[in-house]
Structure 1
């Protein structure tokens, strides 16, 4: 592991600014202006904001400096630095489309409402070679009504991530949501980026009718959980939804069985088990889910050993494949995997976080009551999906009384699950 820049994350504000102000050609090997530009998000002060502005005004054409400028623009957006709007505005005219993209995004984060700047952003839709999705998103976020006609030019764009953004943006800006089913249809697009992108568009539009379809979309459950969680919080708050309406979709995603998904891929011929195992490493989770279904339906006898072999060889260190292996061992009720599942449940490495909830579900599937104490311990973590999955597993193991541990959990979805399932827990919440 490259540890050269570890010390930079412990710099004081003054030390970080000193590094950022150093000319790029004088930077020492163990320093990084990019890293400190990101680090300054932790210091919401005039000094940090002014240093980031100076970094943007440094127009050294080297690639390293261009990357530092982009990160500085991003950090100013994250800091909601109103005083940085004029200098960020100048970046809208640059030739580098990535700098333009991050400048537009940053102005959106800051909440810029200057009509002249909003019109400059809208005019970028007439300029070839731009990254239009972010521009469209930002104009809709900032409610710039005058951009509607320009955005309409993108509703049939060949890049469906852009088309989805355009359709949803017009619905938001016009208040007419009749075309949103066209966005929902992208949940079944063969391109994974189109599927992921339209989920974000459905979130931005607070389009509650799509919740069930989002739950069945073959992308990583991280995208689906975030969408359902966000829509649930918004919908319950404004009275449009109840927990009981959200719960089936939420728990379907946490279970994440391939039979509950609307798969978009298929094999043109029966695949070998070796091929299917390799598909668990694919970056398109739609292919991973097809592989999972094939292992369950066609190779259920041979799958456990094949999964354990690939786990030992690679999957233990590949967070995507790791997730699928853990979940499959549960669906296959492979009792010999108990220790491996407990290890996954208790693995605190950030990149393996979604495997912890998967391990909880898997432990519920294999039905070994030895897992109850470990699942109860998971109810005391701050990770909401792990806690919820652990409640589902405890329910599967017939240990509903454990729900009382989470009766006063700070997370409203956890409390709702507890209250619905355990009358005693409900009494604890509302004595």
Structure 2
């Protein structure tokens, strides 16, 4: 589990427990039991788990307490606290549907083969107002086959993420993938959440044929890389696919040029540049990629100055826009952005991690040879996508020496890339 973002609160374990144990009506304006419940993810100890269990057992109906209970259940799931299963099981009958949703998810994270718990989860499929996708996903994860017919009813749900999960689970339980093209089609849905969730379903189904479609899906490359990587990991290990099959799509995704995506949004006519710059701040990356491609097609000359201005005003603090700005400087081959890209390459703040690989690719596009030693420093990183991007960037400069330094301690995808390069 990646915990880089978890430890953001200046609390000790004892302070967080004390805060969580404080009655809600005694909490000061400057304190938050919700933050305490979140922070205890950092402490997988008996005392923290017991504190979270006590929080779940506080059934005050006030909204603030309901939110704390939901978060406590979630944290217990993240901690995979098996001793909390009886209490979390009891939450399946809660009147608050979000507490039920978190309880189902947490049970899936902790894992159980208790038929009573699994059947109680399955029976929620007959209860109105539930988050059926989470229920179906958990039943699939825990391989509860007695729920198959109940899950099958949801394959034609009007809620596409729910139908996607149901189709995927039927495929997993029956080994019949005849309906999986419907899940693949959701990669081109206009709703960004539907696109992201369909990638997860394709991973769950081990549907290797979808790897090219995932590579073309207009969502953040984080989701695409995760999908391709997880499918590749299982597929290569089982000899279902080979690295040579997936590596073009992996590298296309790492390079992340909008021309390689199947964009789901469009403009009737090219908007003005200020509008396009603002689109880089959208949470739907499909809109960001459309704006990026439109900038490249229509505003290549005037865009750099506008990007620098936007970076200074906003993108320094917005990690999504920061990523797109770094990429654009590379695709625009804008040499004056060199120092900014080197700064991004070495930025170790967790929220800006994907900008580091973006900066590596952009530096190769700018083609300033001063970047070569900067990129070589990234060959010591344990962040696989940054190291892979640095190797690709160095190769673009004509330097393939980095591949000879890859060892068995490196990420397996890095090893596969190095082996394929050294053999060629």
Structure 1-normalised TM-score? 0.92
1:219-230, aligned counterparts within 5 Å? 219-230=219-230
Q: Deviations over 1:385-421 (max 9, x none)?
A: 1100000000000111233343455211112222222
RMSD, aligned α-carbons: 1.8
Q: Structure 1 CA distance, aligned partners of 2:383 and 2:181? A: 33
How far is 1:242 from its partner?
A: 2.0
TM-score relative to the length of structure 2: 0.93
Residues 407 and 418 in structure 1, CA contact (< 8 A), matched pair in contact too: no
- Please say if 1:147 is aligned against 2:144: no
Distance 1:141 1:402 in 2: 39
Whole-angstrom distance in 1 between the partners of 2:276 and 2:40: 45
Q: Is the 8 A contact 2:13 2:48 kept in 1?
A: no
Name the SS of the counterpart of 1:300 in structure 2: coil
Where does structure 2 lack aligned partners over 5 or more consecutive residues?
Answer: 1-7
Deviates more, 1:355-364 or 1:117-126: 117-126
Q: Please name the residue that 2:10 is paired with.
A: 7
- Residue number in structure 1 paired with 2:349: 349
Q: Equivalents in 1 of 2:21, 2:275: separation in Å?
A: 52
Q: CA contact under 8 A between 1:400 and 1:422: conserved in structure 2? A: no
> Structure 1 residues 353 and 171, CA, compared in 2 at 3 Å: closer, same or farther?
same
User: Aligned runs of 1:126-137 on 2, under 5 Å?
Assistant: 126-137=126-137
Alpha-carbon contact 1:218-1:286 (below 8 Å) kept:
yes
Distance 1:47 1:320 in 2: 37
1:173-192 → structure 2 map (5 Å cutoff):
173-192=173-192
Match of 1:110 in 2: 110
> Aligned equivalents of 1:119 and 1:271: distance in 2?
54
Map 1:17-416; keep pairs closer than 5 Å. Answer: 17-416=17-416
Query: Whole-Å Cα distance in 1 between the matches of residues 54 and 351 of structure 2?
Result: 35
CA offsets per residue over residues 346-380 of structure 1, 9 Å max, x none?
11111111111000000111111100111000111
Q: Which runs of 5+ in 1 are unaligned?
A: 427-431
Give the C-alpha shift of residue 28 in structure 1: 4.2
Contact 1:330 1:362 in 2 (8 A): yes
Cα deviations by residue, 1:304-325 (Å, 9 ceiling, x for unpaired): 2222222222222211111111
> Which whole-Å CA distance do the structure 2 matches of 1:332 and 1:389 have between them?
18
1:50, distance to aligned residue in structure 2 (A): 2.7
Contact 1:356 1:386 in 2 (8 A): yes
Deviation, 1:274, is 2.2
* Contact map agreement 2:9 2:39 (CA 8 A) in 1: no
Contact 1:331 1:362 in 2 (8 A): yes
Q: Does 356-365 or 332-341 show the bigger shift?
A: 332-341
1:291 shift after superposition: 1.0
Shift of 1:296: 1.2
Could you tell me how far apart the structure 2 residues matched to 1:174 and 1:199 are? Answer: 20
Report the Cα distance in structure 2 between the residues aligned to 1:19 and 1:272, rounded to whole angstroms.
50
- Is the deviation greater in 314-323 or in 215-224? 314-323
Separation of aligned partners in 2, 1:61 and 1:36: 19
Match of 2:5 in 1: none
3-state secondary structure, aligned to 1:379? helix
1:35-73 deviations in Å (ceiling 9; x for gaps):
332333344344333332222111112222212211221
C-alpha contact (below 8 Å) 1:376/1:405 kept by paired residues: no
Question: Deviation of residue 158 (structure 1)?
Answer: 2.2
The answer to whether the 8 A contact 2:270-2:294 is kept is no
Q: Quick one: structure 1 residues 273 and 27, their matched pair in 2 at CA, closer, same or farther if it must change by over 3 Å?
A: closer
CA contact (8 A) 1:183 1:198 kept: yes
Please tell me whether the aligned partners of residues 401 and 422 of structure 1 are also in contact (alpha carbons under 8 angstroms): no
Give, in angstroms, the shift of residue 86 of structure 1: 1.8
Alpha-carbon distance, 1:146 to partner: 2.0
* CA distance in 1 between partners of 2:41 and 2:359 (Å): 35
- Number of equivalent positions: 417
1:208/1:235 contact within 8 Å kept: yes
Cα displacement string for residues 210-260 of structure 1 (whole angstroms, at most 9, x for unaligned residues): 111101100000100111111121122222222211210100000001111
Which residue in 1 is equivalent to 2:417? 417
Q: Which residue of 2 aligns with 1:429?
A: none
Pick closer, same or farther for the CA change 1:47–1:418 going to 2, 3 Å. same
Partner of 1:239: helix, strand, or coil?
Answer: coil
